Structure 1
Amino acid sequence: MAGIAVIGAGLGAMAAAARLATAGHRVTVYERGDTYGGAVRSLTRDGFGFDTGPGLLRLPAVYRDLFVKTGRRALEDVVGMTALDPAVRHVFPDGTAVTLPASRGGVIRALDAGVAPGAGQEWADLVNRGRTVWDATRRPLLEEPLTGDWRALAADPYPPVEVRGGLLRRRRTVRARTLEEVRREQLGDPRLGLMLTEEALSYGFDPLRAPAAAVVLPYLRQTFGSWYVNGGTRALATAVYERCLERRVEFVFGAAVTGLVTADGRAAGVRLADGGTRAAAHVVAGVSPAALEALGGAAPGPTPQEEASGRVGMPGRVVVCLALRGGREPDAVHRTVVHGAAREAEAAWVFRGGLAVDAPTVTVLRPDDPGRRPDGGHEAVTLSAVVPTGEDWGKADVAGRFADAMVRAAEAAVPGLGGRTLWREVRTPADTERETGAVGGGVPGPALAGAGGAYLTQGNTTALPGLYAVGGWSHPGGGLAHAGMSGALVAGLIVEGADFRGSQ
């Protein structure tokens, strides 16, 4: 079978490599860094362990399918996973807090008790409309290659809703165009609005511009849950890497690819920084659009998601790893969202160049994992916040001041946080750029329908025959699950060719 060169060792690239090797291809992965996993990294120090990239897995069925299709051992035979229940605790700017269980009925009851009577059903109705979006877009958006028929995804599948409005409170039918319109017209309590817009913010989307179809995001989280991988998500990356080795995928680390080799109008290999070339029948690139362009494999210009974000480059993340003295209290929740006091100002800063905020929205992860702390008398806590990539994050004072603000916010979720801290390490978009090569350290979000196609990512095929794009910057977008889906799509396109119609 033909030799295949894969650029980068991120999750999507490795997922494609494992599938292609299983199909009989000789696969070589060229990674410019010294390890695998892309943005899926970890920090270990003094017996503490932290995820510095994504901390939770959604839609684990994507990786279950990968392991079923590429070997004998199932995913759960390789890594342990635990579904979060409670799913999340929300701490609002007014001081109220609500803990949501994993069940739909439990969410309704918790919101009725913790927010306002009727809030639970109002949220449930919203999530049900997210299901409408999911049913309409699941196959073409996630399981099929992005082809010339992509314009079918330009229309927003979010359904029209009947609401009461005006002085006479008459019923009228509205068709929301953006997530902000959904919040304003269909959610009465402002705390429900914060829950909705936080979903968009957490994926790097501006609520003012994100299509109404983004309501699918809370639907996915509530319906399919969030899963913690024992040992952290780095353990998932290791499992995929080892599956690649089992399938005899070759990895070459410290091998930066600087260009493409072409012959007869198609990709025919890669050129390395040492001046050498490696021939290949197909090239799979797990890099950002800007990096792909630099290799000579794409037309210039921002991706649709970058245009929709109002800047070239998606938002990034600041991650604060906290080593704490004192054990985790018995009723601690794994994931807490502490909502910022000024969501509109925060979104303006992240997406539209506004002033920096001193009370950001912070996600607090407190895994109950004995393997990530020295003993029961200590705790490893990870904080994360979405930030613009345009700030000078390489400066210690810039990163330090923002980390201080994140810690202040997180005190609402972790009792006695300030007095318990032994040490902390801060990771910024500057670190993400250094580790992954993404310009500015941006983190791509998942593809969304609607908005005229502005939230679709670059397709898996390119203008250069034989060159394929894989990973979070490519269809169907960012996130661990979506990256795994892209690997399945690219492998299908290479193995089955033009007849490939999508994952089964």
Structure 2
Amino acid sequence: MARIVVIGAGMGAMAAAARLAVAGHRVTVYERADTYGGAVRRFERDGFAFDTGPGLLHLPAVWRDFFVKTGKEPLEKCVELVQVDPASRHVFSDGTAVTLPNASRAGVVSALDEALGAGAGERWGDFLGRARDAWDRSRRPLLEEPLPADTSLFAGDPYPALRGGLLRRPARTLAEVGRRELRDPRLAALLDSHALAYGFDPASAPASAAVLPYMEQTFGSWYVRGGMRALADAVHERCLARKVEFVLGAEVTDVRIEDGRAVGVVLADGRTAGADHVVAGAPVPALYRDQVLPWGSQDEWPHHQSALRTGRVTVCLALRGARKEGAAHRTVVHSPDRAGESAGLAAGRLCERPTVVVLRPDDERLRPAGHEAVTVTATVPAGAGDRTPDDPWAGDATDAQAFADRMTAAAEAAVPGLRERLLWREVRTPEDTFRETGSPRVPGPALAGAGGALLPAANVSPVPGMYFAGGWSHPGGGLAHSGMSGALVAGLIVEGADFRGSQ
């Protein structure tokens, strides 16, 4: 039985902790915050509750596997999981709208034809076919196996883009795929929104980001009753049931390294904890900033999603009056200036009118009777979290409120009369993310292409005995991907160098 110290109590870290405990190891988790779950948090006030992290779950098979492998219980016995149908409603800048069914390619094709005109659905369906090819080529090595030392395999783009133009050059970015292959600005906006939801700028994201809409429309969108925080609660309870020890409010300030190997951690109060293995679930950028690891700069770390510089603004809206019957759970209200939105993300400044995602869960556990809890989110430049002059969040707090005003106005396309119903709102910016997780950025899932710039940190660190789990490590961010990360780290520790990935 090995002693294992886990830094941080995010979802990937807890997934690793429970699996390692089941394998017979003694696991202790040190978390600097006063709660667990990482970015999967909840804001509560006056009987209203809001998810401030992910609002939906994709690829639920990852967490089904976790609960079966750590207790032989189905996920559905631990949380109430419901399929969201329709999966989403999209409101485009020209006023047209389309409602897309969940996990039905034929239904999506039909809905697009009806809303956007004959042929729109066929073009989207053909695109999804090519996206499926990219998924099939990259799924196993990119999601289910440890990241190899030689990552050149992932430098190229697996998406089989159609060739066009005089030079017959294939599309290199997701935005180019939308323009060339979908040939309708509304379909292109639909495609872009899937990248934005994961923090990627479509203008710079590789064409391989096509796997994101394919993943969602193939495996469906799911919601946990009581909010996604209920999933974090269930994972935490599973850890406790497997005798994982949690020490909250305990900040790790250093990793003890002896003879070139990680042998424990040092806490802020001066205490030390010895370990045979250390699993760091804290964001990799935070570890660099706090000089926990013996590397001088982030440039010495080979894979850390260096191209991803985005975060989220979340506006929690407490509304008087009941939710309209039949309202879509999720509505995407597209920006009227997609080029300006991309330019703002690239330049590190806020745009005038972002694409917003409006979530209206029909869940009585989240609001007082007769009222409604709504969240509105937008992908924004994250800044550095250090209030420097070039940080978009370094200005007066009224700047964030003004941006939230624009988000709220856009959300009225999804919730008519929203501002007249508003009781109060809470605005959360990348500064809140920085305070809670150690980084203002939100990590995205690993993507092939772009020369490997969107690969996260490998699970095995350069220091023997130390591993990385969670959104900043392979295979990246998001609820499903962080769960995969925990499974990979547990496999590497239990099975060693012979481990070839999840089965």
For the aligned pair, the TM-score class normalised by the smaller chain equals: over 0.9
1:219 counterpart SS class? helix
Q: How far does residue 160 in structure 1 lie from its aligned partner after superposition?
A: 4.0
Which residue of the partner structure matches residue 483 of structure 1?
482
What one-letter code is carried by the residue in structure 1 that aligns with 2:273? R
2:413 counterpart SS class? coil
Q: How far does residue 70 in structure 1 lie from its aligned partner after superposition?
A: 0.5
> Any conservation in 2 of the 1:292–1:298 contact (CA below 8 Å)?
no
> Any conservation in 1 of the 2:304–2:472 contact (CA below 8 Å)?
no
Q: How far does residue 180 in structure 1 lie from its aligned partner after superposition?
A: 2.1
Which residue of the partner structure matches residue 195 of structure 1?
190
Which residue of the partner structure matches residue 472 of structure 2?
473
What one-letter code is carried by the residue in structure 2 that aligns with 1:472? G
Separation in structure 2 between the aligned mates of residue 308 and residue 46 of structure 1, nearest angstrom: 40
Separation in structure 2 between the aligned mates of residue 496 and residue 337 of structure 1, nearest angstrom: 44
Which residue of the partner structure matches residue 215 of structure 1?
210
Q: How far does residue 228 in structure 1 lie from its aligned partner after superposition?
A: 0.5
Which residue of the partner structure matches residue 295 of structure 1?
292
Alignment of 1:366 onto 2:360: yes
1:498 counterpart SS class? helix
Separation in structure 2 between the aligned mates of residue 2 and residue 286 of structure 1, nearest angstrom: 18
1:268 to 1:491, Cα distance in 2 relative to 1, 3 A: same
> Any conservation in 2 of the 1:160–1:174 contact (CA below 8 Å)?
no
Alignment of 1:378 onto 2:400: no
> Any conservation in 2 of the 1:393–1:429 contact (CA below 8 Å)?
no
Which residue of the partner structure matches residue 386 of structure 2?
none
Which residue of the partner structure matches residue 144 of structure 1?
145
1:462 counterpart SS class? coil
Q: How far does residue 389 in structure 1 lie from its aligned partner after superposition?
A: 1.6
The residue correspondences of 1:427-446 to structure 2 (distance < 5 A) are 427-438=428-439, 441-446=440-445
Cα-Cα RMSD: 1.5
Structure 1 residue ranges, 4+ long, deviating more than 3 angstroms after superposition? 302-307
> Any conservation in 1 of the 2:314–2:376 contact (CA below 8 Å)?
yes
1:205 to 1:329, Cα distance in 2 relative to 1, 3 A: same
Q: How far does residue 346 in structure 1 lie from its aligned partner after superposition?
A: 0.9
Question: Residues 132-160 of structure 1, C-alpha deviation per residue, up to 9 Å, x if partnerless?
Answer: 01100111000000012421111111114
The residue correspondences of 1:337-348 to structure 2 (distance < 5 A) are 337-348=332-343
What one-letter code is carried by the residue in structure 1 that aligns with 2:424? W
Alignment of 1:408 onto 2:436: no
Alignment of 1:244 onto 2:239: yes
> Any conservation in 2 of the 1:298–1:462 contact (CA below 8 Å)?
no
> Any conservation in 1 of the 2:305–2:456 contact (CA below 8 Å)?
no
1:307 counterpart SS class? coil
Q: How far does residue 20 in structure 1 lie from its aligned partner after superposition?
A: 0.2
The residue correspondences of 1:252-291 to structure 2 (distance < 5 A) are 252-291=247-286
1:7 to 1:350, Cα distance in 2 relative to 1, 3 A: same
What one-letter code is carried by the residue in structure 1 that aligns with 2:472? W
2:266 counterpart SS class? strand
Question: Residues 305-332 of structure 1, C-alpha deviation per residue, up to 9 Å, x if partnerless?
Answer: 64324xxxx2110101111111111120
The residue correspondences of 1:227-238 to structure 2 (distance < 5 A) are 227-238=222-233
1:308 counterpart SS class? coil
Which is further off, 395-404 or 360-369?
A: 395-404
Give the fraction of aligned pairs with identical amino acids, expressed as a percent.
Answer: 63
Separation in structure 2 between the aligned mates of residue 125 and residue 61 of structure 1, nearest angstrom: 26
Q: How far does residue 415 in structure 1 lie from its aligned partner after superposition?
A: 1.6
Which residue of the partner structure matches residue 169 of structure 1?
none
Which residue of the partner structure matches residue 182 of structure 1?
177
> Any conservation in 2 of the 1:8–1:285 contact (CA below 8 Å)?
yes
Q: How far does residue 185 in structure 1 lie from its aligned partner after superposition?
A: 1.3
What one-letter code is carried by the residue in structure 1 that aligns with 2:410? A
Separation in structure 1 between the aligned mates of residue 137 and residue 18 of structure 2, nearest angstrom: 30
Which residue of the partner structure matches residue 162 of structure 2?
161
1:476 to 1:6, Cα distance in 2 relative to 1, 3 A: same
> Any conservation in 1 of the 2:458–2:468 contact (CA below 8 Å)?
yes
Which residue of the partner structure matches residue 323 of structure 2?
328
Which residue of the partner structure matches residue 63 of structure 1?
63
The residue correspondences of 1:106-121 to structure 2 (distance < 5 A) are 106-121=107-122
Separation in structure 2 between the aligned mates of residue 329 and residue 109 of structure 1, nearest angstrom: 25
> Any conservation in 1 of the 2:315–2:377 contact (CA below 8 Å)?
yes
Aligned residues: 490
> Any conservation in 1 of the 2:57–2:480 contact (CA below 8 Å)?
yes
> Any conservation in 1 of the 2:130–2:161 contact (CA below 8 Å)?
no
Separation in structure 2 between the aligned mates of residue 66 and residue 452 of structure 1, nearest angstrom: 32
Question: Residues 114-142 of structure 1, C-alpha deviation per residue, up to 9 Å, x if partnerless?
Answer: 11210001011111111101100111000
> Any conservation in 1 of the 2:305–2:455 contact (CA below 8 Å)?
no
Question: Residues 443-462 of structure 1, C-alpha deviation per residue, up to 9 Å, x if partnerless?
Answer: 01100011221111110011
Which residue of the partner structure matches residue 389 of structure 2?
none
1:385 to 1:160, Cα distance in 2 relative to 1, 3 A: closer
Which is further off, 149-158 or 220-229?
A: 149-158
What one-letter code is carried by the residue in structure 1 that aligns with 2:93? P
Which is further off, 190-199 or 8-17?
A: 190-199
> Any conservation in 1 of the 2:182–2:188 contact (CA below 8 Å)?
yes
What one-letter code is carried by the residue in structure 1 that aligns with 2:379? V
Which residue of the partner structure matches residue 20 of structure 2?
20
1:295 counterpart SS class? coil
Separation in structure 1 between the aligned mates of residue 321 and residue 188 of structure 2, nearest angstrom: 35
Separation in structure 1 between the aligned mates of residue 10 and residue 41 of structure 2, nearest angstrom: 10
Which residue of the partner structure matches residue 125 of structure 1?
126
Which residue of the partner structure matches residue 399 of structure 1?
400
1:132 to 1:107, Cα distance in 2 relative to 1, 3 A: same
Separation in structure 2 between the aligned mates of residue 317 and residue 286 of structure 1, nearest angstrom: 20
Which residue of the partner structure matches residue 83 of structure 2?
83
Which residue of the partner structure matches residue 495 of structure 2?
496
Which residue of the partner structure matches residue 389 of structure 1?
382
What one-letter code is carried by the residue in structure 1 that aligns with 2:381? P
TM-score (norm 2): 0.95
1:297 to 1:231, Cα distance in 2 relative to 1, 3 A: farther
